[in-house]
Amino acid sequence: MGSPAERVLDRTLRAHRDLSRDQRQALAESLFNVGLWRRRLGFLLGNPDAPPSALLFAFLHGLAEVPAGEAARFSGLGAPLPLASGEPPSLALRYSLPDWLAEHFSRELGPAAEDFCAHLNVPGPITLRVNPLRTSREALEQRLRSEGVETRPGALSPLALHVVGPRPNLYGLDSLREGLFEVQDEGSQLLGLLVEARPGESVLDLCAGAGGKTLQLSAAMENRGRLLAYDPDAGRLDRLLQRCSRAGVSNVQVLRAPPEGMQVDRVLVDAPCSELGSLRRGPDARFRLEPTSLSELPRVQRELLARAGRLVRPGGRVVYATCTVNRAENEEVVLGFLRESPGFRRVPPGVGWLDPSCVREGFLFCAPHSQGTDGFFAAVLERGEG
Ligand SMILES: C[S@@+](CC[C@H](N)C(=O)[O-])C[C@H]1O[C@@H](n2cnc3c(N)ncnc32)[C@H](O)[C@@H]1O
């Protein structure tokens, strides 16, 4: 399989610097939509292996309702092509998913699968997390307005601002360079909040990556106490350190080897997962996945959660989180851990602050079709004092 769509677009735009702003926008949207909808477009054309010009025509005429002649001209075709009419017969074809993945979502979500899959084809909002070490949400809203970016507060996380209107170039903003905010989905912010880290505590971010949640945890700790960040990917940890300095975070200690022999107050396991909850973020992630990528993950996840269990002190908390919709990586990992670890119990997530719509069977579960967030799962586990 070729490169991800984002990289192809980037290469194409760099090779054609003469394109106008509108032309660049049209190119980006065509590539995104043809990439995303390719299975449904193949159905419309009666040919799953149709060439790109035919796919573009099918998108423009069949889905975007551009008149046939114009759509053919835009697509570089001599004449319009015949398209099938009527709704595609399967979930996979309706929402342009591989068959195995549509079947997976049907098994996971039952009747809600249709709505969930429809939302995977609508781009998610751009959501920011205010950095409370530098400013407040209200002050950030004002500051962004002065920089030409309108936002509105999120309803689920007290740290969230959603960008309103056209996609701005956030990376050109002084407010970003000054570390006033980070880009972070509102559901992802809930995972960080579930840790309920407090100033002065010791907290371990066991899968810290480039530090999205490490920064959030540090702010919750008011930059006080010990925040340990581990990830096997050294490059991500380097980026984490750069982001810490931009955000004014000074209580983070990066671990370059897996943590052992310590006992901390709280551990966040933001586990590597199949990422089925963030499929709306890119057009072709769904086509790059293999069923085996789902089945291989629970073993790693079980190991990580067991390690977290050994690293938390009696009376401490472990939050296990993923951005996927897959019981084998979510509920089953946690329930298996609880069976083998009688000293731990599951506690209701976010008591007193988490919107009840985000709780399913005692776990956090949020998704594009129900909360407007990417899809996330989390369990809050506490170790008994004994
Ligand atoms: C969901 S991402 C973490 C995202 C990060 N917490 C954030 O908020 O930006 C999962 C991370 O787990 C890391 N990972 C993979 N295997 C691991 C292991 N055995 N132990 C710890 N982390 C691991 C990956 O490198 C990846 O950065």
**What is the DSSP track for 180-228?**
SEEE--HHHHHHHHHT---TT-EEEETT-TTSHHHHHHHHHTTT-SEEE
Residues paired with residue 347 on neighbouring β-strands, in sequence order: 380
Give residue limits of the domains in the chain.
Answer: 5-86, 92-121, 127-183, 186-383
If we measure between CA atoms, which residue out of 230, 252, 351, 278 comes closest to residue 127?
Answer: 278
The binding site consists of 231, 270
* Range 186-383 has CATH code 3.40.50.150: yes
What secondary structure letter does DSSP report for 296? T
The one catalytic residue among 207, 273, 323, 366:
323
Q: Are 370 and 340 in contact (CB under 8 A)?
A: no
Residue nearest to atom 15 of ligand 1 (CA): 272
| pLDDT given for residue 2 in this prediction | 55
| pLDDT given for residue 1 in this prediction | 46
Residues 6+ apart with CB under 8 A from 95: 40, 102, 117, 118, 120, 121
The alpha-helical segments, DSSP class H, found in the chain are: 5-15, 21-45, 52-57, 68-74, 91-94, 99-109, 113-119, 137-146, 174-177, 186-194, 212-220, 234-247, 285-288, 291-295, 297-311, 331-340
Mean pLDDT of the chain: 94
| pLDDT given for residue 21 in this prediction | 77
Strand, helix or coil for residue 35: helix
Q: Do domains 127-183 and 186-383 have the same CATH topology?
A: no
pTM reported for the whole predicted model: 0.94
Is 323 designated active site?
Answer: yes
Q: Which of 129, 191, 207 to mutate to test the pocket of ligand 1 (most atoms within 8 A of CB)?
A: 207
**Architecture of the structural domain at 127-183:** 2-Layer Sandwich (3.30)
CB count in 10 Å sphere of residue 193? 24
What is the CB < 6 Å shell around ligand 1? 206-213, 231-233, 236, 270, 272, 300, 304
Q: Which atom of ligand 1 is nearest to the CA of 231?
A: 22
Beta strands 127-130 and 181-183, pairing class: antiparallel
Residues of the chain with pLDDT under 70: 1-5, 8-9
* ipTM at complex level: 0.99
Residues paired with residue 226 on neighbouring β-strands, in sequence order: 202
Q: How far does the centroid of ligand 1 lie from the alpha carbon of residue 207, in Å?
A: 4
